[in-house]
Amino acid sequence: MRQDTTLEQRPATIARTDSTCLLDRAGADRLTEATDKRLVRWMREGDTAAFEELFVRYETRLVAYATRYLGSVDLARDVCQEVFVKLINKPPRVLICDSIGPWLFRVTRNLAIDKRRRRKFEIHEEDTDIPEARDEGDPLSSLRERNDIEVIRQLVQDLPKDLRDVVELRIDGDVPFKDISRILSIPQGTALWRMHRAVEVLRQLWRRHEAQV
């Protein structure tokens, strides 16, 4: 009798599984078929998946483009990371032909040329009193410059776990985002997005901390 009940329930279970798969595929198709303009709008509204789709669409081409200027794939990846951080922080409001591509490639070119210029300066300049150039690709850099890192560590403990995991890897291990994505088994775009969100929350927590001091 128990065997008959199990057999009767199995089609319903399969139906629910099939329904979930269909929804997942529909969501994936929604992203892959969306225009850049639509993805940017969804990203502005806080859709992490939309940002990840833009990252997947352009990351390989941007790295290849930056490598032409820098002659180093690793440096090109650093530039690409900075580009997507800028996209998160301040996405363009007007797109050429509804494509984010021209904006991304223009920012990539400017950052690659700037990094190449700074590297030449660092190689030839021996004056140790000259301050080190700021790494804008690290969203924590502004907080590190202005605030006590130990206070930040305390505030990090108040972050949600998914954000805290990313921040701790950056603070404690200075781990690149591509490695963070592997360690946490998340897309690199998600790691960048979570860092952006974490920094926003940390700034709010820091303001509260300063008000109490």
pLDDT tens digits for range 83-115: 999 999 889 888 888 889 989 999 999 999 998
Could you tell me the CATH number of the domain that includes residue 177?
1.10.10.10
pLDDT at residue number 208:
82
Instruction: Write the CB contacts of 186 (distance below 8 Å, at least 6 apart in sequence).
Output: 180, 194
In this structure, the answer to whether residues 87 and 148 fall within a common structural domain is: no
Domain shared by 162 and 123, yes or no: no
Segment 150-154 long-range contacts (CB within 8 Å, at least 24 positions apart): 151/206, 151/209, 152/202, 152/206
- C-alpha span between 154 and 173 (Å, rounded): 17
- pLDDT of the residue at 127: 41
For residue 55, pLDDT beyond 90: yes
- For residue 62, pLDDT beyond 50: yes
Q: Return the higher-pLDDT residue of 150 and 77.
A: 77
Q: Say whether both 152 and 120 belong to one domain.
A: no
Q: Choose one of 133, 159, 184: the last residue of a domain.
A: 133
Return the pLDDT at 8. 47
Residues 6+ apart with CB under 8 A from 189: 48, 51, 52, 54, 55, 56, 59, 84
Distance (Å, whole) CA 49 – CA 56: 10
For residues 204 and 144, which has the higher predicted lDDT (pLDDT)? Answer: 204
* Amino acid at site 15: A
| 24 lies in the same domain as 127 | yes
Residue 137 has pLDDT above 60, yes or no: no
Which domain, by its residues, includes 163? 138-213
**What distances in angstroms separate CA 22 from CA 26, 47, 164, one per listed residue?**
6, 20, 33
Q: Is the pLDDT reported for residue 172 higher than 80?
A: no
Tokens representing residue 134 in the block: 């700021």
Residue 20 lies in a domain: yes
Identify whether residues 126 and 93 lie together within a single domain: yes
Q: What is the pLDDT of residue 35?
A: 92
pLDDT over 60 at 32, yes or no: yes
Confidence check: pLDDT of 75 > 60: yes
Query: Looking at residue 60, which CATH number applies to its domain?
Result: 1.10.1740.10
pLDDT at 144: 53
* Assigned domain for 165 exists: yes
Share the mean pLDDT of the chain. 77
Does 190 lie in the same domain as 107? no
Tell me, what's the pLDDT at 124?
46
- The number of domains in the chain is 2
Using CA atoms, how far apart are residues 102 and 93, in angstroms rounded to an integer?
13
Report yes or no on 204 lying in a domain.
Answer: yes
